[in-house]
Amino acid sequence: MVWLNIILGLVLLAAFLYWLLVTTEGVFLGRRIVVWLYDITAHKYDEIKGFDDAAERFFVVRPLRHHLRRIPNPLILDVATGTGRLPHYLFDEAQFNGRIIGLDPARKMLNLAVPKLVPYRNRALLVQQTAVPLPFPTDTFDAITCLEALEFLPSAEAALCEMVRVLKPGGILMVTRRRGREAKAFLNRYRSVEQFETFLTHLGLIEVNTQPWQLNYDQVFGKKPEWRMT
């Protein structure tokens, strides 16, 4: 009986640690742990994600280019850029003539982005920095993106406020909302589609809409109005 209790205790402990460190990637332990976990696993990140070129072009590049079609040289900020997924695929698009700043606090993730962006070094900049506060003036970027990251930030709401602040009037926000079975493992950090969209609307965004993307993520779009009532 004692052995059974010990085994049960160990199984529960293992399940708890798995939830704490793997499922929710350390977010309940604080920012430093999240960033440290990304740093120590950075070398495996691209392999684990196994990005599909055609899917990235269709679901990530195409909607962004559509929203930016009238801006010849857009300036884009990719918050939590990681290993440079978004800049890599966007620069790969021959018709894209914009500039991209990729921001992430995990140095080893950024190190893996560097070689991907070397051919575009005049139009790419990587910044080692957290999402809050963003080190840019208000109304700066034509588009802000943040893929597969909001749920790992200390406060998704504070990060979204900052993103909207630095977005230009008329600019587009493209972020992701965690969905599916694992999303609810984030407990009080989970946001339904309605809660997420309502929050973006309260931040002043218009044309807020959610598109199903992957098994675990929706894409959420919003636009900063051209003119604001003061």
Ligand X SMILES: C[S@@+](CC[C@H](N)C(=O)[O-])C[C@H]1O[C@@H](n2cnc3c(N)ncnc32)[C@H](O)[C@@H]1O
The interface mask with ligand X, positions 107-146, x = CB under 6 A, is: --x--------------------xx---------------
State yes or no: residue 85 binds ligand X (CB under 6 A): yes
State yes or no: residue 149 binds ligand X (CB under 6 A): yes
Binding footprint of ligand X, residue count (CB under 6 A)? 19
State yes or no: residue 24 binds ligand X (CB under 6 A): no
Name residues whose C-beta falls within 8 Å of residue 18's C-beta, 6 or more positions apart in sequence.
none
State yes or no: residue 160 binds ligand X (CB under 6 A): no
Task: Specify the stretch interacting with ligand X by CB under 6 A; choose among 2-10, 27-35, 69-77, 87-95.
Answer: 27-35
Q: By CB under 6 A, name the one of 136, 152, 213, 217 that touches ligand X.
A: 152
Which three-class secondary structure state does DSSP give residue 181? helix
What is the smallest separation between the CB atom of 131 and ligand X, expressed in angstroms? Answer: 4
> Could you identify the residue written with the tokens 């604080």?
30
Quick count: other Cβ atoms within 10 Å of Cβ 59? 17
What is the smallest separation between the CB atom of 161 and ligand X, expressed in angstroms? Answer: 14
Question: Whose CA is closest to 100, among 70, 138, 126?
Answer: 126
What is the DSSP code string of 83-124? Answer: TTHHHHHHHTSTT---EEEEEES-HHHHHHHHHHHGGGTTTE
Query: In what helix (H) or strand (E) does residue 156 lie, and over which residues does it extend?
Result: helix 156-166
Q: How many whole angstroms separate alpha carbon 56 and alpha carbon 63?
A: 10
Task: Specify the stretch interacting with ligand X by CB under 6 A; choose among 10-18, 75-83, 180-188, 211-219.
Answer: 75-83
State yes or no: residue 77 binds ligand X (CB under 6 A): no
Q: By CB under 6 A, name the one of 64, 68, 101, 106 that touches ligand X.
A: 106
Strand partners, 129: none
Task: Specify the stretch interacting with ligand X by CB under 6 A; choose among 3-11, 30-38, 117-125, 202-210.
Answer: 30-38
> Could you identify the residue written with the tokens 């500039």?
99
State yes or no: residue 205 binds ligand X (CB under 6 A): no
Contact 210, 177 (CB under 8 A): yes
Residues at the contact surface with ligand X, assessed by CB under 6 A: 31, 34-35, 38, 80-82, 85, 104-106, 109, 130-131, 147-149, 152-153
